[in-house]
Amino acid sequence: MGRRLAVRARGVAIACAVSLLTVVGAGDTNAQSLRGSPGTVERQNEAARRNDYTFLTDGKQVQKYVEEGYLVRVASNDDFQVKRMSYPYARPEVVLFLSRLGRQYRDACGEELVATSLTRPWSRQPRNASPRSVHPTGMAVDIRRSTNRYCREWLEDLLVHLEGQGVLEAVRERRPPHYHVAVFPKKYTTYVASLPADAGQLASRSGDDRYRVRNGDSLWTIARNHGLTVQQIRRANDLRGNRIHPGQLLQLGVGDSQQLGR
């Protein structure tokens, strides 16, 4: 992580997902956002107020909201694991977020995403929790920080990108190591609905299957627009890392494509 932070300090920004480091020369404003701030907490609470979410007080109230359909159960699948927890429930938009993220994370890293906390009523908040935490509303999820550096960078890159889209707020926490993510329901569902259903067809695969990197490109955006994975592009171009630069010519003829979406 020290080397990565040093790169950021030199003005290299991280832009999208699947280890999508942005083209050298971009700013590093978003790259700092995972540190959190008073503004981060305020934006999360503002989103809760806009959606008229209740801050649940105890287990009985959680169960009531589950029965009324405001919270839904989150179950482990092949892509993500819900760690043993007292209240494995969340707002439907959080479930959508986890299902999409888990699939992409598994494709990119080859390991399961692990959710360590979802809805947490006031009565079950840890001592070090912020008094303004939105976990009691069901709109937040804590995600375990992987010991794999590549997976950590992949996830951080994606969270920074989604923060830039204004659909969530994420904070990198240290004790225990995890990412706190608050999903902004209306904005996130609108964002997902705006994504092309056939992103893999957005760019033509005809011709010599090469692509000239443009300013603002990242491996993620290039992969997504051509129906590929970042790993496929890296292998085809013998790239060890994720840094690319304007004018660079990438080979995209890497066999069968794999459609991706955020």
Cα–Cα distance, 242 to 230 (Å, whole number)? 9
- Which CATH architecture is the domain 36-193 placed in? 2-Layer Sandwich (3.30)
What is the crossing angle of helices 149-164 and 92-109, to 10°? 140
The contacts of residue 11 (CB under 8 Å, 6+ apart) are 25, 26, 27, 28
Query: What per-residue string of b and e applies to 232-252 under the rule 16 or more CB within 10 Å gives b?
Result: bbbebeebeebebeeeeebeb
How many C-beta atoms lie closer than 10 Å to residue 182's C-beta?
23
Burial of 76 (0-12, 13-18, 19+ CB in 10 A): middle
Residue 74's pLDDT is what? 94
The contacts of residue 184 (CB under 8 Å, 6+ apart) are 47, 139, 166, 167, 168, 169
Both structure tokens of 18: 């699947």
pLDDT in tens, 18-76: 333 333 333 333 334 698 888 999 999 999 999 999 999 999 999 999 999 999 999 99
> Which phi and psi (to 5°) does residue 108 adopt?
-80, -40
Instruction: Give the helix ranges, DSSP H, for the chain.
Output: 2-9, 38-50, 59-67, 92-109, 149-164, 185-194, 219-225, 230-236
Residue 242's pLDDT is what? 79
Map out the domains of the chain as residue ranges: 1-32+198-262, 36-193
Classified as helix, coil or strand, 223 is helix
Asked if 186 and 165 touch (Cβ cutoff 8 Å), the reply is: no
Residue 208's pLDDT is what? 52
Cα–Cα distance, 179 to 103 (Å, whole number)? 18
Q: What is the pTM of this model?
A: 0.66
pLDDT in tens, 153-187: 989 999 999 999 999 999 999 989 999 999 999 99
